[in-house]
Amino acid sequence: MLRTIQIGTCVSVQGLLVRQLEDGRVIIRVDNKVYKGFPV
């Protein structure tokens, strides 16, 4: 499932959901990179 996260004040990334963390952040994968941030 595609998810969009915010990893700064004005930077957002969209990728495949890897997992959801207990503090509300989610981890997504884009190609070979993994990003962690808050869902939009």
The whole model's pTM is what? Answer: 0.85
Can you give the pLDDT at residue 23?
A: 96
Do 38 and 24 contact (CB within 8 A), yes or no? yes
Can you give the pLDDT at residue 24?
A: 95
pLDDT (tens digit per residue) in 4-37: 999 989 999 999 999 999 999 999 999 999 999 9
Can you give the pLDDT at residue 25?
A: 96
| Domains of the chain: total | 1
What is the domain extent for residue 7? 2-39
> Which long-range contacts does 33-37 make (Cβ < 8 Å, 24+ apart)?
35/5, 35/7, 36/5, 36/7, 37/5, 37/6, 37/7, 37/13
* Cross-strand bridge partners of residue 19: 27
The residue length of the chain stands at 40
